[in-house]
Amino acid sequence: MSTAERTTDRAMLRDIGAIGLAVFAVGMSFGAIAIAAGLPAWAVIAMSLVVFAGGSQFMAVGLVAAGNPFAAIFAGLLLNARHLPFGLAVADAVGTGWRRRLVGSHILIDESVAFAMAQADLAGRRRAYWLTGATLFVTWNVGGVLGVLLGEAVGDTDALGLDAAFPAGLIALLLPSLRDRETRDVALAGAGLAVLTTPLLPAGLPVLLALGGLLLMRRKSR
């Protein structure tokens, strides 16, 4: 391994570790909030293990607490529909074989996709994808269990600004890709669509509509 590759791997490990700490803290918050909302401890832990999607889990807890579990299921499916195009984008990083695809699809989250897409070669994408997904799966679930045990002592992590850690990290990872003008135009068009429709549409739909930015690429290719 060359010096440049070792430096890149160290930087990647540092960044994954930083986001892992933030995920751990937010996982604690989720566990405490879910228990306060009246969910049994086993259900909170099982949700983190099986669903493993922070935004969907927070939304589900809020809707269940409001007495609408069916809306929680629908909202979670809608919010996570963005993972369909994500899966296409990182299929090579996940690898082949049903076992790798089964486990790889479970750890497909915004952060694992972003870290993988930030790498220049296939080997780097695979390392980044699996390391990010595995690290955040562990930190999220360990944090959730501690949140369940500690209850209200955890508090609200949004007050610490940790809710902004994830989008900030994703933007930093994607900045190198935006040097390409065509990619930048598509990304800005998609972001504009999402921002404009967020006040008008249910959670999840603006993210899907952001894929409309790809129409700009299609138009330019003609």
Using CB atoms within 10 A of its CB, is residue 152 exposed (0-12), middle (13-18) or buried (19+)? exposed
Kindly state the helix (H) or strand (E) to which residue 127 belongs, with its residue range.
Answer: helix 122-150
**Predicted pLDDT of residue 31:** 87
| Pairwise CA distance, residues 126 & 130, whole Å | 6
- How many angstroms separate the first and last alpha carbons of the chain? 42
Q: Which residues of the chain have pLDDT under 50?
A: none
Q: At what angle do helices 165-174 and 110-117 cross, to 10 degrees?
A: 20
94, two tokens: 């996940």
- Its pTM stands at 0.71
Domain chopping of the chain, boundaries: 3-155
Mind listing the pLDDT tens digit for each residue in 20-42? 888 888 888 888 888 887 888 89
Tell me the pLDDT of the chain averaged across its residues.
77
